[in-house]
């Protein structure tokens, strides 16, 4: 959720061995061939519960589960109960409620550990530990998350070794593979110390196999598969097509709407995302998705509707129970007032933003860096950036045509101007021009702690991958990893590693 299924920070420690790879073989271009020893298949009642969880109607789901008492469906009940509680914590970030949820998780794990081992038992233990790890990570409890996710790795490995034809565990394994494969450089020493490795490509193959199976978890696997394809592999067009196809096949639930909105925004299709947000406004049932006010505010800021944007940012800040994105939201309120030429209000919100929230999520890390400069972005560059990010390319082009590089007095602004031109040309499909501009950005960025150089190298890696010039693609993706101390280090490194993993896999 939000990027929440992947707001893992990728700080956890992960466990993988060669026997794991032996069990499933090397990644291939086709889905892994796995015979099913036993599959999880929900009856009508359990499928209804599952659908309500995916629709974020967790209270209704839990009430339905109260009627499932028989022993035969106990493992399914435990899985769905824990999934519902995990989803609630991920969406609400309710720190006050988490101790009660944690107690329930521990009780279930203790009972399962005392039972006779089976494929279902190991899978369920692995899943509960993974869900618990996500909850800890989402609340910033990284050490507890490390322990839970490492245990999930160990149990997944054991399950796959002992029950190599048991397909449901591919969901757990697929997620863990992606997490390990995309871990940023600054945590590599920890992974290496423990002999841990992972592969985004392998994780995607496993999730792809599961989503094409007859297992009741296939919808969850499909959602994860397409989300990873977008946010990790940056294949946003394919990602959105997949989510859109699920929205047609399945009951159009709020989770799919949510993921569709975020993917569209990443693809610079903010107008389409805004239409989906308005559709969701008509579906208020279930968990309150106050994070949508943040997304609404982002689009309104891009569109230049600054007063409306301020209203949505303020609503998000006041009602969101978590701390992530609040620093970023407060800074962007300051930006709104700056763009409306209200300097007193802009300064007031800039100072408020310095004290607001935490600096864990990358937008907040970037906000903290911007705020430390104690000044506002150049108005022209900011408007060009916002218009381009939202996909309002004609307006961005009209604005950029009135500006020249010589109009900026400091090196950072001059470099950013070229970067904004490169992004506009790239999003407009003018890749030849974009490549030339990205190369200029890399040269001018140099060793400065700006993200423009790293992002330009990453984008060049993508462009050369599309044209099948894999040697050049690898060169620039590796270059993206070399840039240090910029605020988007984690996400850019993760994306570069995922792209390199795909290149290396395709070459085998």
Q: Is residue 133 part of a domain?
A: yes
- 436 within some domain: yes
C-alpha to C-alpha distance for 115 and 124, rounded to whole angstroms: 12
Residue 341 near residue 306, CB atoms below 8 Å: no
Q: Tokens 């190599």 correspond to what residue?
A: 164
Same domain, 181 and 314: no
CB 486 within 8 A of CB 451: yes
Residue 257, CA distances (Å) to 126, 214, 289, 293, 313 in order:
28, 24, 12, 14, 20
Please indicate, yes or no, if residue 381 is contained in any of the structural domains. no
Handedness of CA 86, 87, 88, 93 (dihedral sign): positive
Predicted pLDDT at 423: 97
* pLDDT at 6 (0 to 100): 35
What's the confidence (pLDDT) of residue 92?
82
Task: State the pLDDT at residue 419.
Answer: 97
Do 106 and 155 fall into the same domain?
Answer: yes
Q: Are residues 320 and 176 in the same domain?
A: no
Distance CA 404, CA 424 (A): 15
Task: Answer yes or no: is 55 within a domain.
Answer: yes
Helix (H, G, I), strand (E, B) or coil at 223: helix
pLDDT of residue 162: 94
Question: Where is the domain boundary, 281, 309, 334?
Answer: 281
CATH code: domain of residue 360: 1.25.40
Identify the CA nearest to 276 among candidates 304, 252, 294. 252
Tokens coding 27? 């990644």
**409 shares a domain with 344:** no
Number of folded domains that form the chain: 3
Give how far the C-alpha of residue 148 lies from the chain's centroid of Cα atoms, to the nearest Å.
20
82 and 216 belong to one structural domain: yes
Q: Is the sign of the CA dihedral 490, 495, 501, 504 positive or negative? A: negative
- Both tokens of 493, joined, read 């490194």
d(CA 463, CA 472): 10
SS (H, E, C) 286-354: CCCCCHHHHHHHHHHHHHCCHHHHHHHHHHHHHHCCCCCCHHHHHHHHHHHHHHCCCHHHHHHHHHHHH
For residues 300 and 355, membership in a common domain is answered with yes
pLDDT given at position 196 = 59
Predicted pLDDT at 194? 54
Task: Report CA-CA distances (Å) from 268 to 105, 274, 494, 503.
Answer: 39, 11, 20, 25
Q: Examine residue 384 and state whether it is found in any structural domain, yes or no.
A: no
Round to whole Å and give the CA distance between 410 and 13.
42
Collect all residues with Cβ–Cβ distance below 8 Å to 196 and sequence separation of at least 6: 13, 14, 15, 16, 153, 180
What contacts 97, CB < 8 A, 6 or more positions away?
Answer: 88, 89
Confirm whether 238 is domain-assigned: yes
Tell me: do 459 and 492 sit in the same domain.
yes
User: 165, 236, 233, 234: which is closest to 505 by C-alpha?
Assistant: 233
Q: Among residues 233, 240, 234, which one has the least CA distance to residue 204?
A: 233
Q: 257-263: which pairs have CB atoms within 8 A and are 24 or more residues apart? A: 257/283, 258/1, 258/2, 258/289, 258/292, 259/223, 259/226, 259/227, 261/292, 261/295, 262/2, 262/3, 262/231, 262/295, 263/227, 263/230, 263/231, 263/236, 263/239
Do 33 and 179 fall within a single domain? yes
Per-residue pLDDT, 29: 33
Q: Find the length of the chain.
A: 508
Distance CA 268, CA 340 (A): 23
CA nearest neighbour of 262 among 244, 240, 245, 284: 240
Encoding tokens for residue 498?
């995922």
Residues 163 and 99 placed together within one structural domain of the fold: yes
pLDDT of residue 185: 60
CA 362 – CA 487 distance, rounded (Å): 7
Closest by alpha carbon to 444, among 414, 472, 422, 474? 414
Distance CA 480, CA 474 (A): 10
- Say whether both 245 and 119 belong to one domain: yes
Cβ pair 256, 228 in contact under 8 A:
no
Residue numbers of the domain that contains 60:
4-281
The domain boundary, picked from 257, 281, 305, lies at: 281
Closest by alpha carbon to 304, among 276, 327, 338, 260? 338
At which of 316, 345, 376 does a domain end? 376
Q: Does the residue 401 lie in any domain?
A: yes
Helix (H, G, I), strand (E, B) or coil at 16: coil
Mean pLDDT by 10 residues, the chain (508 residues): 35 26 31 48 90 90 89 90 91 85 92 93 94 85 84 91 92 88 67 64 91 87 88 83 81 80 92 92 84 95 97 95 90 97 97 90 88 92 96 96 88 95 96 97 95 97 94 96 89 88 72
Does 389 fall in a domain?
no
Do residues 217 and 76 share a domain? yes
Q: CA 88 to CA 140: how far, in whole Å?
A: 16
CA angle 323, 327, 329 (to 5 degrees): 100
Same-domain pairing of 236 and 341: no
How far apart are alpha carbons 253 and 242 in whole angstroms?
15
């Amino acid at each position: 959720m939000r990027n929440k299924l992947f707001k893992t920070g990728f700080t956890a420690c992960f466990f993988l061995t060669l026997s794991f790879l032996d069990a499933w073989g090397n990644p291939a271009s086709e889905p892994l061939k796995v015979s099913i020893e036993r599959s999880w298949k929900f009856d009508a009642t359990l499928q209804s519960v599952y659908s309500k969880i995916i629709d974020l109607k967790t209270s209704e789901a839990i009430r339905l589960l109260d009627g499932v008492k028989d022993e035969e469906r106990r493992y399914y009940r435990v899985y769905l109960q824990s999934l519902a509680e995990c989803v609630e914590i991920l969406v609400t970030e309710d720190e006050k409620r988490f101790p009660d949820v944690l107690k329930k998780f521990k009780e279930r794990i203790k009972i399962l550990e005392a039972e006779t081992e089976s494929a279902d038992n190991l899978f369920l233990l692995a899943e509960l530990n993974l869900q618990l790890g996500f909850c800890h990570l989402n609340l910033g409890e990284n050490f507890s998350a490390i322990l839970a996710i490492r245990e999930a790795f160990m149990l997944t490995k054991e399950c796959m070794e002992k029950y190599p034809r048991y397909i449901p565990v591919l969901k757990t394994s697929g997620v863990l593979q992606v997490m390990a494969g995309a871990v940023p450089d600054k945590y590599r020493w920890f992974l290496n110390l423990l002999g841990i490795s992972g592969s985004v490509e392998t994780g995607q193959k496993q999730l792809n196999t599961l989503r094409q199976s007859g297992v009741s978890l296939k919808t969850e696997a499909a959602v994860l598969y397409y989300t990873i394809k977008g946010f990790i592999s940056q294949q946003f067009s394919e990602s959105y097509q997949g989510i859109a196809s699920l929205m047609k096949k399945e009951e159009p639930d709020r989770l799919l709407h949510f993921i569709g909105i975020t993917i569209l925004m990443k693809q610079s299709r903010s107008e389409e995302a805004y239409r989906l947000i308005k559709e969701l406004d008509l579906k208020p049932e279930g968990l309150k998705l106050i994070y949508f006010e943040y997304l609404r505010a982002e689009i309104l800021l891009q569109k230049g509707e600054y007063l409306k944007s301020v209203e949505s940012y303020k609503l998000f800040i006041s009602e969101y129970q978590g701390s992530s994105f609040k620093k970023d939201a407060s800074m962007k309120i300051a930006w709104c007032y700056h763009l409306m030429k209200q300097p007193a209000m802009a300064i007031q919100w800039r100072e408020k933003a310095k004290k607001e929230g935490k600096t864990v999520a990358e937008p907040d890390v970037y906000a903290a860096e911007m705020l430390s400069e104690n000044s506002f972005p150049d108005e022209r560059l900011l408007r060009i950036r916002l218009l381009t990010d939202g996909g309002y390319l004609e307006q961005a082009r009209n604005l950029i045509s009135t500006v020249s590089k010589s109009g900026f007095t400091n090196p950072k602004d001059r470099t950013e101007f070229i970067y904004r031109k490169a992004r506009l040309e790239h999003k407009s499909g003018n890749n030849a021009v974009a490549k030339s501009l990205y190369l200029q950005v890399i040269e001018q960025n140099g060793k400065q702690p700006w993200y423009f150089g790293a992002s330009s190298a990453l984008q060049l890696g993508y462009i050369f991958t599309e044209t099948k010039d894999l040697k050049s693609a690898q060169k620039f993706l590796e270059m993206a990893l070399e840039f240090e101390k910029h605020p988007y280090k984690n996400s850019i490194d993760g994306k570069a590693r995922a792209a390199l993993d795909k290149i290396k896999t395709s070459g085998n």
